[in-house]
Chain A
Amino acid sequence: MTRPGCFPRCVDENGVRTPAHSARVTQLAVAGTHLPRGLHHRDPGLRNCLSCRQGENIARHRTRRGTLSRSPEQPAPVHRCLEGAQRSYDLPGHAGMLFAALQGCLPAAPLFFLCHAKVLSQVNTRPVTIHCRNTRLLQQAITGFKGMRGRDVESQAEREATRFFSATPLPGPASQQVLQAGSEGQAVLPGPSTAGERKRAGRLRKLITRGPTRFDEARVTSRIQGEEFFTRVWPEEQHTAPSSPGFSLWDILSPSKSQEKKDGEEEDAEGAEGESHALVGPHPCPPTRSTPAVYVPLHLRRIHQQSTLFLPSALPSDLRSKLEEGVSVRDPLEEGLYVGEKPFLTPANRNIVENRLLRQNNRHWFSETGSLERLNTPINEQFYHHLPPHLQEAQNKEPLTVFMEPQPIESLQDCDEGTGGVLDLELCGLHFTHHPLFSPEHVLAAQLTQDYKLYKQRVNLGATRILQAKLVVLRQSLAKLREAGDTTNQLSQSLQPRHKTAREELDVARRLEIYRREVKACREEANVEAEKDRQLLTGLLRTWRSIKDLRHSSRVHATSIRLLIRKEEGDRAEEEEQRKVELEEEVREVLEERQQEYEAQSKRYEKELAEWKAEHKKRKEARRRQEERRKAAEEGSTPDAQGEEALIQVAQDDTLLASPEPPRPSRPPKPPPKHKVELEVLEVFSRTRKPPGEPVVSLELTQTPLPELHNCPDPEKKRRQAVAKIHVWLRVLVNNKLVTQTSSTTLGADFTLPLGHTFRMALSSWPRSLTVEVVEGASLRQTLVASITLPIPGCTATTKDAPEVAQFSGSQVVSHSHAGVGCGQVGSQYGSSLTTGELKYKLGWATGAEGEVLAPLGPPPTHAAIPPSSSTALKWVAPPEGGVADTRQWLQEARLDPNDPANAALIAHLQKSAGGRSVRGGGHYLEFEGVAGWEGGRGGGVRLRVLELRDQGEPLYRDARLVPALETQVLRDPLQNFERRTREMEEEAEAVVAVGDGGGSGDAGASGDGEAERVKEVGEGWGAELEQRWERVEGLLASLRRRLQLRYSPESAAPVLEDLVREESIPDIGTLGSSLAAVFRARRPLRPTRRPRDRVRGAALTDQHVQLIVHVARAFNVPVRDPQQQQDSLGGGVGGGGDGGCVRTLVEVTFQRTTRSTSVAEGPNPTWNQQLSFPFRAPNDNFSPGSLQQVREDVFLHLYDQVTQDLLDDPRLRPSTLHHRLHHRWLGSLTIPFSTIYANAKIEGTFALEEPVMLLGYTREHRAAHLPASSSSSSSPPNTPPGHLPSTSLATTHLSLYITLEPSLPPPEPLKAQFESSEPEEVVSAGREWVAALASRYPRRRFRTHVLDLSGRLVCLTRYLRPLPPPQELMCQDSAATGDIWANSEQFLTLLTGDEEEHAVLLACFFLHLGKTAYLLLGSGVPEGETCYVVTRESDADWLVWQPSTGRCFSPRHPFTPLHAVYQLVSQDNIWGNVQKYDDPPRVSLDVGGSGWRPFFGRGGLRDPGLASVQPPRLTLPLPDPAQVKELQERLELSLRDAFMKWRGTNRTTWNRHAIKVLRKLVERMEETRTTAAATAAPHHHPSGSSSSSLRHQHHPNHALLAAIMKSHQVCGVCVHLGYSTAAGVVAAVHGAGVHLTQAPGVEFALALHLHPYPGQVLSVWVYVAALVQRF
């Protein structure tokens, strides 16, 4: 029975209400306060209505109206109803529940009922109206509902459920039922009966039982607002709605009539009031009644529809209507403001929305532009996460802990397939913008193209246009503001009170000022832009003209480029007019600005002038007063009578007059007259605007096909051939490794290379670099044109659609004979530019099958993700470096456009920093402070710290194994000590470096004094302090060394292929030839030659057994036992030959606590020829050069005389019995540091032994004359001064040795790192060249001009030398090597440690002061390796070489010099490199004037730049305190004795006091004898030939002291002399003497020690140890 065209509508029961039912019938389909909801039926037979309404609501209506409240008669479209119902379903409450119940009852039934709920005041009490048109459904619904209501309602519902009343006058049976449910019923609602409903009902119940929350309220309000939005279409009817208690069809059809009717009905309702009260009560009765169906004709309904419904039009609305009155349309785009892209909305939809809003008269929705105000993007950048309330609480207190699932191990294992990234690189094309094969036309064309691109860009951007439009707008606003200001002024004068005006005026003035400034800035900017435009245009046209000229002159088209020029003629008169207006305006503005400027300036001027005048006046008065006082003083009157005030006055006057008078401020210049300004503006106009009448030019660049060349000139033809020949290809390198390359292609005529290759690269980790190399080649040769480093894409970057462009440029210089212009040629017209071009590429990570980005795992390297430069808007105003306040200030001044996305990041940051967390939406977002958590344990994490230090390679922890797992087990003390020491060391190192700087800069006087003080300070605490200082110095050196290592560690750390892989080397001609020659070489099996060994690289040596091999060959000039002494002192029983002068010697070698000794050989020149091998253990089994350099162990060689004592008492037993005691007597020793062996790979030669100063019981002199070796020494030049003869002769014992490592370890590579220098660059580079030139000719010789000083800077060698006055007494000191750092003498003496270089420098400086010709000799020697000696010139052809660390001197012609090779000589002014054929000292001529030396400065090299010396002018050496020395001496002696007794072990040590006393006397004189002996030997007091002279002085008067003891005792003693460094060193030296090994019964010992102090805390230690055996 569906009626077509039947419009759904509201029904009201009022029209059919009977009086009997009036009490019950209250309301129907009340869906809102104003808007009723109706029931709409197509099938009247099934029309039902169920209404549920809260009684309270009705009661309120009643009390207000005094009658039964009626629904306003408002029909509503069906969809609104449905909408409401659906919304109510979502809500907790009756409506939703009922709806759900209905739906759940009939899951299969179509949704025929409509439901609507409206919340009036509270959430949990809401009326529900359900309209249903299915009786069965309704019944079931009610059954369901019945269950839900209370028992009291139940019966009523059952009774009335089937009673229906027809809701509308539509034909057919219709019924309606209105159910009302009180809020009380809710609490006792039982569960729904239907099983299918259970689930839903459960949810509903939950919602019900929950109390009303704030959330619900918010939703309700929002819904009410939403409802209001829809209802506001009919604002005028809202007022009438409450007044209509009921409605009928008639009301609907004629609203005017219904008004009258309502009045009548109100009386009816009055009577029903009592009954309707009952409805409100706890037992409401649902009213039901039937009404006959009424038919409304279609046309009537249409009319009604027109009056009530509104259909928004889809046509655009009128612009004016969208704006508020009095607001003019403006376009921010034209004003130069940024207008973002709005999300797309179809115009029709937009118009509908606009019209709807307009209909509601909501103009605030529209912006000034007349369009709907919309957000650029509704998507919020921020991710909001609503946390549950309990978490919100927690989050405020502490950061969230995130639980990470433990990963299965398999994923770690299998990661090698999955984790690597797949990088896609698409090379789209290559285009050269300059190429050596360009013809001149190409060059011009490239320029044209480039300019055109810029032009096009500028045209598109339209910056000038925008700026000019902005200027116009600003001017208008300014004008308007002025007008407004004027009017308000007038108004205020007439009407407003004063105070308000003042504020407004200020405001207006301020705004005016801002506008003026804006206008000025905008105008200037517009002018600049316009000028640029003009210049670009003229430039383009000029280039195009020259191209045309070129084409014309060469009659050939080399490029296909063509510029189209379109002209657009304008109206000249009009333009002139416009220009005039603009001109006038601008002139007026400029004039105004100038005037204002002038005013401001003159204001300032007046102020300044006033100040100045006041000042001037004060001065005048002061001067006058002074004058008066002077006069008074002259007259003789005393000023003191005037009192204190006068005195103050005098002082004030004096200060005032003493300060210079400020200059009188100058008057600001007058503003220029109008005609001048006009001229200026005109000039600007001529630059920036096109003259009137000139056509508007627009350009277009096109390509024309290149014409075939027929009569091409020859050079051009050649060029084209060359172009056709050349091939270009690209190579792709990842981490500098070639990955792939494109196929080579010839360049086209336009020098582009279309590529279009995509390379897919699988990378296992983040690439460090990604480079594309452009290579071109003709036939055979290929050249690298340029290399382009591409940015490595970030983790999420995939390939983009648009290719990116990378610019590149080559660096080579090319010139061609043909028409090609070449590149890089300075001064050429076209070829001056370098090869440049562009590469178009796409780069990104590939995406996997599921769309995931296949970037490698792990964080990208720091430099990888370079964000695209998005700060285009900020390019021109870079924010200042500074604090937050500065930045904020700058931002306020910069006035960024907050809408521009280019500034978005900045603005967002600002907002965040300004408002803290007050972000839109108020949601919380998660913040992780991940790293901080790890850092937190930094202070407490001892274990972590230890592990870190180990990782950094700190010496203390480098070898630490099994660092405890628990924090508590890690030893804290060493770490704390270490940290403290590190800090101290750093400070000390800085201090020393500072001294070095001070010395280097020349003004060493001051710093020297400071240093002296420091030294004194250090010196005060002698004793233990000395030890500590020693430790500190050691630490300081270690830190210096570490610093240096840090510098070059990256270079040296990376192992090369040879370190890792063992491989046969490629045979070259040399090796092949020599191997062939070896076949034919004569065999000499008796003369084996040494074969060079393969070098073993360090990295491979972990498991190898490295051995140190010491081959002891022979010794010369060993002292022999004194026959005279032997007989009476040592008694009989000495084994060996009957010859009294016999000695049985053996060599004992100690290395790394392993001791081996040779067999015994006899005679003063024994020969052993024995090889001793020692296992070598590298620290921590690390055989890398870096760790091997740290080995500080030495090889000790001791020469002993083995004395056999016959212990056999009974001579009768002698033939059958042997009872001997072996006793070793120390004759000398030699110490060779392992570092020397390591650096030189082998040590071979004859070395002088360090001998005891005094050797009792041995003699050498009378034998020495017979030595074959000494004959050579006596053949030394006869003109040698007699004083030097003993020192150069073979007076000392020499030992021939060969020491090496097996297998040979590679020597450390010399530093290649570049160090900075404070010297001029040309000196440093010249030095480099000089060294390189010499090194290529003499590869074995090491040359250098610059060395590193303590601060790690290169210093020229000559700067180290300077005449220095030596102190009264001085002795150099032997100590540990510092590596390759050169300290100046002051630093050296401060540190009291240095190697040969420091000693030599100091010695040379002293020699220079003494007026000798002295040179520093750099060479190679033993046992030091690379070393430094001092050479002095004694006479014309006679030189002396001084070994600075021991103080010996010898002639260079001496056969057994420790010096083996001479590389270079250094004087104060110059450096000479040895270019002679030989470098061994006897054969080297030391005359630097000769041809055998190549100077560094002069002779074609660079001039001496006259660099200041790094040495201080003089050394301040404090004298030590004798008391402290005494104390130290006593302490040392005690500790020595203790140590001595300990060495003796179980044997008892008896001290002979008498002997000790004697020895002490003896030892005190040792230093005297030594210095005096040396002083006689040389004018310089430096010790020389100490041992030999002592030996000669054996029978010195001192010796007589011993005679008494020697009468009664056999004395065997050793005197040890050394420089003091540490107590341990002294003890070790005494231990080396081996006196404690004496095992004779009844042996007594004597030990005496003497310290001789020298200036600068240098101490000379003399120890005399003797073993005494009582004579019988």
Chain B
Amino acid sequence: MSVSSPSVFLLSVSGQVEAGRFMGGDNLHFNYCFTAGQDWEVVSGLEECVSQTACCSDDERQLFVWNFPIDITYKSTNPFGWPQIILSVYGTDFFGNIVIVGYAACHVPLTPGTHTRRLKTFVPESASTIQKLMSWLTGRRPEFLNPKIIAQGRGREDLTDKGEGR
């Protein structure tokens, strides 16, 4: 973070999504997207990316290693609406359908330096048992229409989430 001009400050984020540990699913990939307030503007870098697919490691750690780089620079005039990164992890299920495995979000760290974050992921639950069964059969599990809503506070009352993996 540096102040380049008196009226705008820049926030430069670089990092990587290293690894994940998930209970179910295999061949996981994720996509990340950034969301920020109205006073924020992307100067350079990619706001959204889809990662490569990773397989579960063979050792006892059972990790999915991506080591996927993140690089983005914002400029802003107002700390309100600090950028958040949203990860949605997808994987294949028993029938080979690509289903959602987890969502996670976190703010970009507020201080300069190296930070490590462990995010817990979750997926929305089916509204009823029948729908759960249906979704399992059809391979279309409930997912967010827009993953960015997990970075908002609004309208979350109606959701029941299930924690899964991290």
Name A residues whose Cβ lies closer than 8 Å to a Cβ of B: 409, 412-413, 735, 737, 947, 950, 960-966, 969, 1054-1057, 1059-1064, 1066-1067, 1096-1097, 1099-1103
Contact = CB atoms under 8 A, between A and B. Distances in A.
B126 interface: yes
Interface stretch (B21-29, B62-70, B135-143): B135-143
Contacts of B146: 1060, 1099-1103
B39 A962 contact: yes
8 tightest A-B CB contacts, nearest first = A1100-B145, A1055-B155, A965-B77, A1063-B142, A1100-B146, A1057-B158, A409-B111, A1061-B124
Given A950-B38, A962-B39, A1099 B155 contact: yes
Contact of A947 (B78, B143, B156): B78
Interface of B: 6-9, 38-41, 75-78, 80, 109-111, 124, 126-128, 130-131, 134-135, 138, 140, 142-146, 148-149, 154-159
B110 A1064 contact: no
Contacts of A1096: 145
Given A1066-B130, A1099-B146, A1057 B159 contact: yes
27 contacts: A412-B110, A413-B109, A735-B157, A961-B39, A962-B40, A962-B75, A965-B9, A966-B6, A969-B7, A1055-B154, A1056-B158, A1060-B124, A1060-B145, A1060-B155, A1060-B158, A1061-B142, A1061-B145, A1061-B159, A1063-B126, A1063-B131, A1063-B142, A1064-B134, A1064-B142, A1099-B146, A1101-B146, A1102-B148, A1103-B146
Contact of B78 (A963, A1056, A1102): A963
Contacts of B76: 962
Contacts of B41: 961-962
Contact of B127 (A962, A1063, A1101, A1103): A1063
Contacts of B110: 409, 412
Contacts of B9: 965
A1100 B40 CA distance: 21
A1359 B159 CA distance: 46
Nearest to A1067: B134
B145 A1099 contact: yes
B135 A1063 contact: yes
B78 A965 contact: yes
A1061 B143 contact: yes
Contacts of A950: 38
B158 A1099 contact: no
B61 to A, nearest CB: 25
Nearest to B155: A1055
Interface centre among B41, B77, B142 (most CB of A within 10 A): B77
B150 to A, nearest CB: 9
Contacts of B131: 1063-1064, 1066
A1064 B138 contact: yes
Contacts of A413: 109
A949 to B, nearest CB: 12
Contact of B38 (A961, A1056, A1099, A1103): A961
B119 to A, nearest CB: 12
A965 B155 contact: no
Given A947-B78, A950-B38, A1099 B149 contact: yes
Interface centre among B9, B39, B110, B128 (most CB of A within 10 A): B39
Contacts, number: 98
B94 to A, nearest CB: 17
Contacts of A1057: 127, 158-159
Nearest to A1054: B155
A1101 B130 CA distance: 28
Nearest to A737: B157
Interface centre among A1064, A1096, A1099 (most CB of B within 10 A): A1064
A1097 B145 CA distance: 9
Contacts of B39: 961-963
Contacts of B138: 1064
B92 to A, nearest CB: 19
Given A966-B7, A1062-B142, 10 more contacts: A950-B38, A961-B38, A969-B7, A1057-B127, A1060-B155, A1060-B158, A1061-B142, A1061-B159, A1062-B143, A1100-B145
Interface centre among B40, B127, B156, B159 (most CB of A within 10 A): B127
B32 to A, nearest CB: 14
A1249 to B, nearest CB: 40
Contacts of A1054: 155, 157
A1057 B155 CA distance: 8
Contact of B159 (A962, A963, A1060): A1060
A1057 B160 CA distance: 10
A964 B126 contact: no
A1060 B7 contact: no
Contacts of B143: 1061-1062
Interface centre among A961, A1055, A1063 (most CB of B within 10 A): A1063
A963 B41 CA distance: 11
A617 to B, nearest CB: 83
A699 to B, nearest CB: 53
A1059 B140 CA distance: 17
A964 B76 CA distance: 9
Contacts of B142: 1061-1064
Nearest to B134: A1064
A412 B79 CA distance: 15
Contact of A964 (B7, B38, B149): B7
B149 A962 contact: no
Contacts of B111: 409
Contact of B145 (A969, A1059, A1067): A1059
Nearest to A1059: B155
Contacts of B128: 1066
Contacts of A1103: 146
Nearest to B141: A1063
A1061 B38 contact: no
A1058 to B, nearest CB: 9
A414 to B, nearest CB: 11
Contacts of A1101: 146
Nearest to B137: A1064
A1208 to B, nearest CB: 55
Interface centre among A1096, A1100, A1101 (most CB of B within 10 A): A1100
A1050 to B, nearest CB: 12
B133 to A, nearest CB: 10
Given A735-B157, A965-B77, A1067-B134, A1060 B144 contact: yes
A12 B125 CA distance: 98
B5 to A, nearest CB: 10
Contacts of A1099: 145-146, 149, 155
A1067 B140 CA distance: 14
A969 B39 CA distance: 14
A1096 B124 CA distance: 18
B73 to A, nearest CB: 15
Contacts of A1102: 146, 148
A1056 B158 CA distance: 7
A588 B114 CA distance: 94
Nearest to A1058: B145
A1097 to B, nearest CB: 7
Nearest to B76: A962
A904 B10 CA distance: 56
A1096 B145 CA distance: 9
Contacts of A1067: 134
Contacts of B157: 735, 737, 1054
Contacts of B149: 1060, 1099-1100
B135 to A, nearest CB: 6
A947 B38 CA distance: 10
Given A1060-B145, A1061-B159, A1064-B138, A960 B154 contact: no
Contacts of A964: 7, 77
A1060 to B, nearest CB: 6
Nearest to A1103: B146
A416 to B, nearest CB: 10
Contacts of A1063: 124, 126-127, 131, 135, 142
